[in-house]
Amino acid sequence: MYNFQEKVVLITGASRGIGLAIAKKFAKDKAKLALNDIPQAQEELKKVVEEFRKQGIEAKYFLADISKYEEVEKMMGQIQKEFGRLDVLVNNAGTIADRTLAKMTKEEWQKVIDVNLTGVFHCTKLALPLLIPNQGKIVSISSVVGERGNFGQTNYAASKAGILGFTKSLAKELGRFGVRVNAVCPGLIETRMIETMPEQVRETAKRLTCLGRFGKPEEVANVVAFLASDESSFVTGATIDITGGLAL
């Protein structure tokens, strides 16, 4: 368990999956939660916040499409007004639109880049005025696909690879302020996306993983919390794989 007492953590895409697991981990470690998702997920996100409040956790939700600069700008203003500070930014929100490049539409390409990569730019840039005074931490969720590619995911792979370059460059820019910037690359994690995979594909994927199973969202959350904690005080510009040894 880490100590995030009085720390404010913003998690994008927090209504379900890995984002929700990250929120639960920070809640367990006594952080104050600023939870984001798109307006279409409002009811789901509202229920998440209500559940945290029942547990005595200070949590608020903020609706914004992170691909839209103005919406993120408004959200950061609301967070500053509600909490007065920001200590940790977790860039988790993402989307997919899988198709081979030959069949991919420019809209499918652009949507994935806009959310997965430009959204990280929007959130990080607009959070800096709040993070720098507190020597904040930035953790972005990339993917093993961003390191190794994957059939039918040129758009997704490009967006997640971009996060890795963004992370290393920003770590060099913000180190002088004591702000640490890191990324994690999950492999196959038990989320709704995995549940939709055909059984044969699921079994093949497990065989390619050294540990012989899929990861749990909580296992990603544990590494994110470590990178945001003082226990990783000399770690910046790093990429940590959370893959169970996928395709070593």
Active site residues: 156
Name the 3-class secondary structure at 185. Answer: strand
Cα–Cα nearest to 243, from 182, 188, 205, 164? 188
131 Cβ contact list (under 8 Å, min separation 6): 86, 87, 89, 137, 138, 179
**Are residues 179 and 137 in contact, defined by beta-carbon separation less than 8 angstroms?**
yes
Pairing of strands 88-91, 137-141: parallel
Task: Please calculate the CA angle 63-65-70 and round it to the nearest 5 degrees.
Answer: 95
